[in-house]
Structure 1
Amino acid sequence: MKHRGPYCVYIVQCADGTYYTGYTNDLAGRLALHNSGRGAKYVRSRLPVALVYTKQYRYHKKALQAERDIKKLTRSQKEKLAGTYAGTND
């Protein structure tokens, strides 16, 4: 199966102030899915969510690695990353 890019790694802030990190090749669709309550289980009970960071990657593998790296960050590191958000691309 071929993956179709580009891919976005994203962080959303949930209504309770927590952060959720994911990746997708359809950011608008994924955000709509999250906010409809049909997205990730973690997010379902913490609606609505707001996009606070995204970065675009050409390759699936790079996006997956970036997602893993972001998930390892502390809350304060994620807050700093969200504070630098300007819709940057790779």
Structure 2
Amino acid sequence: MKQSYVYILKCSDESYYTGITSNLTKRLHEHKTGKHKESYTYNRRPLTLVFYAEFTDITLAIQTEKQIKKWSRAKKEALINEEFDKLPNLAKKKF
């Protein structure tokens, strides 16, 4: 089965970019060299890979990427810092 990767990059403006790829090394090179001038990361280089997860099920990888993209900055940072116990509380809305 083909591997897929969901990854998070930290940009030079301190924002996060979440993406998905089947070739992490190649995709990171594309981001770092600015291959796609219209991309979110092009004007936010240099970039640092701060998280990635491997998947054998592309459907699950796509669902995970979409889910992470909706997360708050605090929740993304908890994932990046492997503070998994914080994730459920960060999912709750504050009223």
What letter corresponds to residue 44 of structure 2 in structure 1? R
Give me the whole-angstrom Cα distance separating, in 2, the residues matched to 1:22 and 1:80. Answer: 18
Q: Runs ≥4 in structure 1, deviation > 6 angstroms?
A: none
Percent sequence identity over matched residues? 37
What letter corresponds to residue 11 of structure 1 in structure 2? I
Find 2:16's aligned residue among 19, 43, 51.
19
What TM-score do you get using the length of structure 1 for normalisation?
0.85
**Corresponding residue for residue 83 of structure 1:** 81
Give me the whole-angstrom Cα distance separating, in 1, the residues matched to 2:8 and 2:82. Answer: 12
**Corresponding residue for residue 28 of structure 1:** 25
Shift of 1:38: 1.4
Give me the whole-angstrom Cα distance separating, in 1, the residues matched to 2:30 and 2:48. Answer: 12
| CA RMSD after TM alignment | 1.5
Secondary structure of 1:55's partner?
strand
What TM-score do you get using the length of structure 2 for normalisation?
0.81
Give me the whole-angstrom Cα distance separating, in 1, the residues matched to 2:23 and 2:17. Answer: 16
2:24 corresponds to 1:54: no
What letter corresponds to residue 17 of structure 1 in structure 2? E
Pairs aligned (count): 82
Larger proportion of helix: 2
Give me the whole-angstrom Cα distance separating, in 2, the residues matched to 1:78 and 1:13. Answer: 11
